Amino acid sequence: MAGVHAPRIYTVSDLTVEIRALLEDSLSGIWVEGELSNFHHHSSGHMYFTLKDQESQIKGVMFRMQNRQLKFRPDDGLHVLVYGDLGVYERRGEYQIVVEYMEPKGLGALQLAFEQLKERLAAEGLFDDARKRPIPMLPRRIGVITSPTGAAIRDILHVLRRRFANVDVLIHPVAVQGDQAAPEIADALRELNRRGGLDVLILARGGGSMEDLWPFNEEVVARAIANSKIPVISAVGHEVDYTIADFVADLRAPTPSAAAEVVVSRKDELAQRLDDLHARMSGVVRSRLHALLVRLAGLDRHLRLLNPIERVRMGRRRLDEFWTHLTRWADRRLIVSHGELRALAGKLDSLSPLAIMSRGYSICLRLPGREIVKESAMLVAGDQVDIRLHRGSVQCDVREVTADNG
């Protein structure tokens, strides 16, 4: 057909190049908001994901050099705001956004990173009280990890000189702000542990924004604190500031000055405490000594009771006591018996024939058999009788016997 231009025919590659040129020229340096899904952090270091909303989705990639600057960990379901260029992957004819910067939507990147790391380390047990070590009551040498020019070191040294000037302080200077601060702090913790001879470490810096304090929220610092063989006191920022280092450390001090006050006691307070301890110890020793003396006396008595010689002595004493009681009893009994005997003798004497005969009576005995004559019928004239009187006797011949008719 005359006057009609032939249509331009594109190859797939040519068309893809045209599309790429159009998209990349017109849609560069754009901000996109959406929800992450199908997130994958490849072993190469690159991040691949899908960014979506309720209606559409677009693939995205964030290469290793860019994502190394991220403070938080991207994951599925996280609502983010990204900045980058629209690009075309020619081999597949797919377009995607090549991300240079990413931040969480609504929650700051630093705050999200803080919460994520805090949750992960807590799950590992790095915050557990059981793993925290006690701070020495009076350390001989203190290591301080901080900036050599900041207010924190001046406050710490001022308090230490005021409270206990004799203590040795080793200052390990580090950066406490910026990208190099966290590695320097972690290295300092490891170095002082290798060096040894320190009783406690103070990790300190003054107050500042979350960005200023961020090195103390880095995982490398948290793990260096957890791996320290020396107890660590975290004294970062002001009283209201909390960092990951505070949770991992063996003790959190609200300020650098407070850390110095905690780590050493005042001399006068220590002296008073020593006096109190001495008084308590003396009381305990006296009480214990008294109890031991009482027990010793009891054991001595018990031992003497078990000694054969002592047992013989005790038996002899008991025998003497028994003999004394027996003698006294016999004497009393003899006195009583004498009284009873006298009473019986008196009674017997009153019943004795001799006593009766003393009143004029006599006893007539027939001879030769000396039978007592109780009645006249026992005699006949011509018998001989012996008549016993109260005093003496009379022998008589019976001339006449008179019968008793009564």
Token pair 């110890």: residue: 281
Q: Determine the pLDDT at residue 265.
A: 67
Architecture field, domain 131-265: 3-Layer(aba) Sandwich (3.40)
Name the DSSP class of 131.
G
Cα–Cα distance measured from residue 242 to residue 387, given in angstroms and rounded to the nearest whole number: 144
Q: Determine the pLDDT at residue 361.
A: 81
Q: Determine the pLDDT at residue 267.
A: 58
Displacement of CA 192 from its chain's centroid (Å): 31
Q: Determine the pLDDT at residue 406.
A: 57
Predicted structure pTM score: 0.51
Q: Show me where the domains of the chain are located.
A: 12-106, 131-265, 269-312, 354-406
Q: Determine the pLDDT at residue 223.
A: 93
Give per-residue pLDDT as tens, 240-269: 778 889 999 999 988 888 888 888 765 566
Pick the CATH number of 12-106 from 3.40.50.300, 1.10.3720.10, 2.40.50.140, 3.40.390.10: 2.40.50.140
Q: Determine the pLDDT at residue 4.
A: 61
Cα–Cα distance measured from residue 348 to residue 352, given in angstroms and rounded to the nearest whole number: 6
For residue 249, count CB atoms less than 10 angstroms from its CB and return exposed for 0-12, middle for 13-18, buried for 19 or more.
buried
Q: Provide the Cα torsion 85, 88, 94, 95; round to 10°.
A: 20
Name the DSSP class of 137.
S
Give per-residue pLDDT as tens, 12-47: 676 667 677 776 666 778 888 888 889 999 999 999
Helix (H) or strand (E) holding 205, with range, is strand 200-205
Q: Determine the pLDDT at residue 87.
A: 78
Low-confidence ranges of the chain (pLDDT < 50): 1
